[in-house]
Amino acid sequence: MKKHVSRSRVSGRCRAPPSKSYTHRAILAAGYADEATVEDPLVSADTRATMRAVSAFGGTVDRSQLDSGTLRVDGFDGRPAVPDDVINCENSGTTTRLVTAAGALADGLTVLTGDDSLRSRPHGPLLDAVRDLGGRAESTRRNGQAPLVVGDSLSGGTVSMPGDVSSQFVTALLMAGAVTGEGVEISLETELKSAPYVDITVEVLEAFGVDAERTDSGFRVAGGQSYSPEGGSYAVPGDFSSISYLAAAGAVAAESGSEGVTIDGAHPSAQGDTAIVDVLDRMGADIDWDRAAGELRAAGGSLSGVEVDVGDTPDLLPTIAAVGAVADGDTRIVNCEHVRLKETDRVSAMAEELRKLGAEVTEETDTLTIHGSDSSLVGTDVDGRGDHRIAMALAVAGLVAEGTTTISGAEHVDVSFPEFWAVLDELGANVTDA
């Protein structure tokens, strides 16, 4: 599917979608429980994959009350059954990694696969860790990539692993480790990238009654614990990764001095992507965040380039790159090599697609520099690369490009923000079907 985005002014009030990161963890935590309710979950292509995995392990996911924002889960109570069939995680790397550790708890074997993109992503350190903790874990092609085979009752213990490939490896082991006999202690061999995502995990675990903690060298979770949220329910907060596109739209396409775009549901949480508030503020956007009310307002200003380290916030790179293309001076996005290991190589993807629009960009291994003063955006055909974050970031750029920007792969926003195009339209953006 393609979308046309033409130069527009945006304003108005909208609501942030629920957090994808929290939803994944909450659904799987509910699966580990006897029973639990997840309130206000994000229902998207990725989170549906996690729902299917919980069902495959013997749980029941009742979606009948989703219209009222409630997802009821009868879990597998810490003991996943052996699935009747292969679990297809589609394009969801989060599902694959979290479920790898869950599947390793079962007596038999679980087979995990996904689409072409997912089958190219690295899982080697997680597979090694599962084996070190007493489970079975193999890549069918012996390259650390899906299809994966896991199982044989992971027992727990201590393990050493790198922290600079994916924080999801740590999340997977902490969630599974809580129901093992021995628990799991993880020693990180390298700096942990995307560390706030593990903070999210620890926050969700705590809400489900599971204790996990940081150590001097990594993380530890005791075994023999049970998942049970207080009152039997857990509420998912708003998603700051998705909020970043709405705030960026306000920063580049709302009149300076206007009310701009106000986003409801922007409550503080462990999400690292709350950093977008500071980034846009430093760039000169008119930003006002009422944390108590959960309201974030973004309007235009005199935007200037800044340097941003995305070591902990890889999902913000596309958003920052798009804003940098309309700011004066250089926007340098540093410490971003791990951003190449997402649904696509997001560093190269943003460099190449912004160049099509007329941006001047310098790409290095771990740095992306957008030369805003040398850029003049003009609408053209661009490719979302089958990546929801690339498509949404290109839409932000399309709001200020001369003429019309046609984005292919527009349907992939369903991964994290299914209503994105409708929300953009409601804010006044000129968005039409191609």
As annotated, the active-site residues are: 315
Q: Are 179 and 78 in contact (CB under 8 A)?
A: yes
- Does 20 belong to an annotated binding site? yes
Q: Is 145 marked as a binding-site residue? A: no
* 157 assigned binding-site residue: no
Bridge pairing between strands 157-161 and 136-139: unpaired
Judge contact between 178 and 221, C-beta under 8 A: yes
CA 366 to chain centre: 20
Q: Alpha carbon of 171 to those of 13, 20, 242, 351: distances in Å?
A: 34, 15, 21, 30
* Secondary structure string (H, E, C) spanning 33-76: CCEEEEECCCCCHHHHHHHHHHHHCCCEEECCCHHHCEEEEECC
Q: Which strands, in side-by-side order, build the sheet including 157-161?
A: 157-161, 184-188, 218-221, 212-214
| C-alpha distances in Å from residue 259, one per residue of 254, 421, 427 | 8, 21, 12
Alpha-carbon 154 to chain mean position: 27
19 is in an annotated binding site: no
User: Does 408 show up as a binding residue in the annotation?
Assistant: no
Taking alpha carbons only, the member of 367, 375, 317 closest to residue 337 is 367
Does 356 appear as a known binding residue?
A: no
Q: Is 48 annotated as a binding residue?
A: no
Residue 193 annotated as lining a ligand binding site: no
Asked whether residue 131 is marked as a ligand-binding residue, the answer is no
The answer to the question of whether 163 is labelled as a binding residue is no
Q: Does residue 389 have a known ligand-binding role?
A: yes
Compute the distance between CA of residue 356 and CA of residue 379 in angstroms, rounded to an integer. Answer: 9
Q: Is 121 annotated as a binding residue?
A: yes
Helix axes 93-103, 124-132, angle to 10 degrees: 10
Distances (CA, A) of 311 to 71, 155, 209, 430: 33, 32, 30, 34
Please provide residue 284's backbone torsions phi and psi, each rounded to the nearest 5 degrees.
110, 5
| CB atoms inside a 10 Å sphere around CB 132 | 15
Q: How far apart (Å, rounded) are the C-alpha atoms in residues 292 and 169?
A: 33
271 is in an annotated binding site: no
Angstrom distance (rounded) from CA 13 to CA 81: 45
Is the Cβ–Cβ distance between 354 and 397 less than 8 Å? yes
Q: How far apart are CA 52 and CA 45, in angstroms?
A: 11
DSSP sequence for 70-105? EEEEE--TT-PPPPSS-EE-TT-HHHHHHHHHHHTT
Annotated binding site: 20-21, 25, 93, 121, 166-168, 194, 315, 342, 346, 389
Annotated binding site for 3-phosphoshikimate: 20-21, 25, 166-168, 194, 315, 342
Annotated binding site for phosphoenolpyruvate: 20, 93, 121, 168, 346, 389
